[in-house]
Structure 1
Amino acid sequence: MRKLSDVTRGRLVYGGDYNPEQWPEAVWLEDVALMREAGVNLVTVGVFSWGRLEPSPGSFDFGWLDRVLDLLHENEIGVSLATPTASPPPWMSLRHPDTLMVTADGVRMSHGSRNHYCPSSPVYRQYARAIVTAMARRYAEHPALTLWHINNEYCEVCYCDGTAQHFRRWLRERYETLGALNEAWATAFWSQHYGEWAEILPPRAAPYLRNPTQVLDFKRFSSESLLQCLRAEREILHNTTPFVPVTSNFMGLFAPLDYWQAAAEQDFVSHDWYPDLTDPAAHVETAMSYDLMRGLAGRKPWFLMEQSASGSHGVRRPPGHLRTQSLQAIARGSDAVCFFQWRASRAGAEKFHSGMVPHRGPHSRVFREVAALGRDLAELSEVVGEHVPAQVAILMDWDNWWAVSGAHLPAEIDLLARLRDFYEPLWRLGIVVDFVRPRDGLTKYPVVIAPNLYLLTACDADRITSYVDDGGTFVMGFFSGVVDEHDHVRVGGCPALLADLMGLRIDEFLPQRDTLTCTSELLGEFTADFWADELTPSTAEVVAEVACGELAGTPVVLRNGFGDGTAWYVATRPEPAAMGTLLAHIAEQAGVTASPQPEGVEVVRRGDLLFVINHRPEPAKVVVDGARVDLLSGERVSGVTELPRYGVRVLR
């Protein structure tokens, strides 16, 4: 069985994306010497190199790549060998223009950037299989080969005629008959009834709103089309190199590809992450993305494939921050810290993207920090393979994300913002979260939170109901339980299938433009905004309500006992302090221990180690229980310990 431990081999992986084809071979010798100095033990090679590897159709040139892999192996540096299929070479675009992506507006993309291919194109797929097969056969026995990296950041969506044909085939498999499709798509609305499969098109540009179920199904199809490309490459690699693990890099909270399905197609989960360095709370969204990766990995270790060494898009990463974000990834389950890229490019569209070796070269602050981080990681081998315990789960489902992102809803619902409404207070409480799907096992978690479940299937509603009936605590945000898997409204009042569980029914949605003043015995007086519901409690107890104005007396937080458990409904967006107080109360009642820290500080346990991380540019003081040893400094720590700006302690 192929797994991440076949790559880590008992130590943390450290390295980055290496593009030697951009440099004279004389530079390669300096590269490997600097890699050894920095403690690099794995580099990714071959991303976007299709044009060099296959300069004309069927004519392969592997000589330069042979020399690179030989050199890396001689210096005890493993290779994550990438299939170069994310950007086909110019000859394919010239000979086969139908392989080029077409936008929803009917514009065919041209060559000259990257990710310009149509994933449904049979010609693209044929050439992709050929280059992958050739690489797999050539390097199957190469001792440097440690890992296969498939494609790069799958994200392509195409609306061309070839895609339309593929979409129809997918729909025929899904619905079997036009009658079933017409029912699912509610084509009686706006005279959209289909009499032939050939009449169906992707949801291209239109005068007004598109059929929401057609749009939802096209998002499902587009994800599946990318997955078919991934599977095809994976099968070639697994068959040719059966003991070499395969992965493909995700991009955090990213909509076009269902990462739950994509994770199941790989040997382990990898992640590219570039936070907004202008956001002083970027570390919270970073933690959320890392927790999502751990969830996608089945609560097992994952692989940080890319991040920036010195900043991005003109924003400088402050001194020490590289170490902080990297060790935050280790704390939250990564067994690897890698960057894009090893050496900053001299030319090309990303010549001002960061590099572990910047334009200034090794005599730079950035490289000194890179080398220091390598020394830190070498001290943390005992964390490899260890798990991160979590007692709270957040439900995340791509079908729901695609549906709730549709047009013409009562208000524009930003699912990522709704996730952060709940996640950030939990982060500030020191409560670590697992991300799971509604269909996953929930019983191991005392608390399960659904910031939004606009689309909810009957099976998932049954699982949630059983979870609470058996003693679980469930927290649900507004605009949930509204539609079925076809994006059809469930009539009778929301949250429909969960109405008995939540102990209430909603008569009308009341999106808010103004701030609400609310009151609660539990939460005191607080403000809220964005949403309210006109609802009628049946068995639910009102915990907070609007205090004044036209909506005075309207419930905004409710609690309902159900079976042996409890269900909470949050019908608005409370101010952060009130949400923190509410979630702290819910956690305490469910037996989940909170451990709030000073502003900007997080404490995360992984295995037997305690990571204490200061994300602020000012020093912070943290209380440490018992006597511990900091593995990074060798100091003995107990009681109050001071963390410098962007400081990290890893305590045993």
Structure 2
Amino acid sequence: MSSKHHLRLPGIAYGGDYNPEQWPEEVWVEDMRLMREAGVTMVSVGIFSWALLEPAEGVYDFSRMDKILAMLQENGIAADLATPTAAPPAWFFKAYPEALPVDRDGRTLSYGSRQTFCPSSPAYRKAALRIAGALAERYADHPALAMWHVHNEYGCHNAACYCDTSAAAFRTWLRARYADDINALNHAWSTTFWSQWYYSWEEVLPPRATGADPNPAHGLDWRRFCSDELLSLCTAEREVLRRAAPDIPATTNFMVMRNFDALDYWRWAPELDIVSNDHYLMSDDPESEIDIALSGDLVRSLAGGRPWLLMEHSTGAVNWQPVNRAKKPGEMRRNALAHVAHGADGIAYFQWRAARAGAEQWHSAMLPHAGTDSRIWQDVVQLGADLKALAEVRGSTSPARTAIVWDWDARWALEQPSQPSGALRFQDLVRDWYVPLWRAGVAVDFVRPDAPDLDRYRLILAPSLYLVDDAGAANLAAFTERGGTLAVGFHSGAVDENCHVRLGGYPGAFRDVLGVRTDELFPLLPGETVGLTGEVPPGATADLWSERLRLAGADAIASYTDGSLAGVPAVTRHHHGNGTAWYVATRPDPATLAALIDRIRQDAGIQPERDAPAGVEVVRRRGTDADYLFLIDHTGKGAQILAEGTELLTGKPVSGTVTVSPGGIAVVREPH
């Protein structure tokens, strides 16, 4: 966020989505009283209120919103005022049925839920900017207004539309990308394959359903287009709001969480004054606390290392998974403060009051169906007090000397059809390498391959970088040459930005820096494992992937013990320039991978933030005059950790050690 555009609220912001239109007005008075009791300082309003704000085209009714904002102001609660454009009203689709989205199979979807619009629809864009402008004109100077909330969860349900309007917009995007040269597109997409050559732009379509596997370069450009098309809607709304209220920051809520990969947030983040994120736990994740940490580190990195806002998470169960589990005692508090530990300067939930009807009636809220006589309410009030006690943490940063490469192009390309193994999942591969760092209490940033400031790091890990362009590959190689440590995972560097295989042997773009060459890939079948020997723990194994690798300057650290590749190197190390480059050409078992990552980071001079028992998360935020050491026990056993200063949640001095209660949290202010 720029220095001009920041959230002018004291301390850590606290609140959630507020949807009073779902309730009679007499409930609103109780809401205000209970918000004050819980310590709420900001709520998001108007997110899904388009049908009420604009009951007919160009006809507005702001009476309800006027009352809501007045009540918030009177009670000292700031408003994050949303443009309601994620859910166009029924009248809009009756008037403009061409704005409905079309799926890959050619089916036109109906309205009746949310985000059922074509992102390329001119009618939708015009209507969205009109309602955004009406809101901006009316409320730009309202004293309750603290932030603009643009749309809601872009791409959550309509990341792609395959209609003819979208096809035309795709062609316009492609003409800009390829300088209006159809032959440049043919080269980039390698359309001589399967007779896909295009002689005119009008022949180019979205990657609709076909009888065989699609062209991967076509599919990759489509993903890029879809992300950019939604981004153009976001920036257009932001500009409407900015013209009316240039000093009010604008955000939109990202979805950096497992299984959502629709948008390239490296391109989105610079367009926002404040980066915010929604994060929900997956019930089938036995260590969801790791996903919270990974997500938080990635969002903080998207924000340029600055604090960010958690715009949505849940107090308990959600409603959209096969089984929606409630949170265990203490879990809600640990989740929230873990987000703060990883850089959040605001904690908010979906939603304030649990809905009694509608598609999300079984989604938890700050004020549950059971009311104030509930554990969730007690936890909500306690968390409000905790965040108030942590007010001084606001604005502090999280310095790291280790970075993991994250790239949406690489993710999209890897998960296209017709890979050597259909079991490759980008986020799973990255998380495999992130876990040992998290367990060790090592601070982590995420970076693009072409990030300009890599020298601030000692260690860079690229667990999965299947696609990389020449500039990104050269950037990582130069980091190594200057003395850094680089570790690269299998099937990286294989293709360029157009999904063209880099010829001459694998791992393509990284052969020289890694000092290895592979001539053939040997992915492993489900359940198949191979043994590893060398500088690895006894009994080490690997699965998922192997390759016939030969040394071209590197040293073998581990080799396969059995199978068709017995004796072939599986892990290598190469001195390149003034630095060191490691290659992990398989997926070691978790214990072996942890030992390997620990060795790589120790060789790079990376040490944990603080010694702590296994399962106790250790994170540091750095302020101007002091550091803030977050200690979170995920084991239920508690711990004693070396620390010196003041424990902020209790206000007690700490001398020598601090006690973390079973399943609890301690936050210690330590002088520099």
The one of 599, 624, 629 aligned to 2:642 = 624
Q: CA deviation at 1:622?
A: 3.1
Distance 1:359 1:495 in 2: 55
Q: What does 1:322-401 align with in structure 2 at a 5 Å threshold? A: 322-401=332-411
Q: CA deviation at 1:642?
A: 4.3
Q: Is the 8 A contact 1:490 1:496 kept in 2?
A: yes
Cα deviation, 1:313-353, whole Å, max 9, x if unaligned, reads 33111121111111101111000010000000111000111
Report SS of the residue matched to 2:520: strand
Q: Is the 8 A contact 2:490 2:507 kept in 1?
A: no
Q: What does 1:216-295 align with in structure 2 at a 5 Å threshold? A: 216-253=220-257, 254-295=260-301
Q: CA deviation at 1:278?
A: 4.5
Q: What does 1:195-594 align with in structure 2 at a 5 Å threshold? A: 195-253=199-257, 254-313=260-319, 314-412=324-422, 413-440=424-451, 441-513=453-525, 514-594=528-608
Report SS of the residue matched to 1:443: helix
Q: Say whether residues 1:94 and 2:106 are aligned partners.
A: no
Cα deviation, 1:568-607, whole Å, max 9, x if unaligned, reads 0000111111111111111111111135532321011112
Letter in 1 for 2:621: R
The one of 652, 664, 668 aligned to 1:635 = 652
Distance 1:14 1:193 in 2: 55
State the aligned residue count.
Answer: 650
Identity of matched residues, %: 47
Letter in 1 for 2:585: A
Q: Say whether residues 1:85 and 2:99 are aligned partners.
A: no
Report SS of the residue matched to 1:559: strand
Q: CA deviation at 1:279?
A: 2.7
Distance 1:504 1:292 in 2: 30
Q: CA deviation at 1:187?
A: 0.9
Distance 1:218 1:462 in 2: 26
Q: What does 1:17-96 align with in structure 2 at a 5 Å threshold? A: 17-96=17-96
Distance 1:303 1:255 in 2: 20
Q: CA deviation at 1:271?
A: 0.7
Distance 2:37 2:59 in 1: 37
Q: Is the 8 A contact 2:6 2:274 kept in 1?
A: no
The verdict on how the C-alpha distance between 1:5 and 1:95 changes in structure 2, with shifts beyond 3 A counting, is closer
Q: CA deviation at 1:280?
A: 2.8
Cα deviation, 1:57-103, whole Å, max 9, x if unaligned, reads 11011110000000100001000000001111101111111111110
Letter in 2 for 1:170: W
**Match of 1:136?**
136
Q: TM-score, normalised by structure 2?
A: 0.95
Q: Is the 8 A contact 2:492 2:508 kept in 1?
A: no
Report SS of the residue matched to 2:570: strand
Q: Is the 8 A contact 1:429 1:580 kept in 2?
A: no
Q: What does 1:598-613 align with in structure 2 at a 5 Å threshold? A: 598-607=613-622, 608-613=627-632
Q: CA deviation at 1:3?
A: 5.4
Q: CA deviation at 1:639?
A: 5.1
Q: What does 1:158-177 align with in structure 2 at a 5 Å threshold? A: 158-175=161-178, 176-177=180-181
Distance 2:151 2:216 in 1: 31
The verdict on how the C-alpha distance between 1:50 and 1:381 changes in structure 2, with shifts beyond 3 A counting, is same
CA RMSD of superposed structures (Å): 1.4
Distance 2:414 2:400 in 1: 27
Report SS of the residue matched to 2:352: coil
Q: Is the 8 A contact 1:293 1:302 kept in 2?
A: yes
Cα deviation, 1:194-227, whole Å, max 9, x if unaligned, reads 1121111100010111111111111111011001
Q: CA deviation at 1:530?
A: 0.6
**Match of 1:182?**
186
Letter in 1 for 2:446: F
Q: CA deviation at 1:628?
A: 3.3
Q: Is the 8 A contact 1:428 1:597 kept in 2?
A: no
The verdict on how the C-alpha distance between 1:68 and 1:93 changes in structure 2, with shifts beyond 3 A counting, is same
Distance 2:10 2:40 in 1: 15
Q: Say whether residues 1:13 and 2:18 are aligned partners.
A: no
Distance 1:503 1:4 in 2: 48
Cα deviation, 1:112-144, whole Å, max 9, x if unaligned, reads 111111010000000001000000000011000
Structure 2 residue runs of 5 or longer lacking an equivalent are none
**Match of 2:666?**
649
Distance 2:88 2:8 in 1: 31
Letter in 1 for 2:105: D
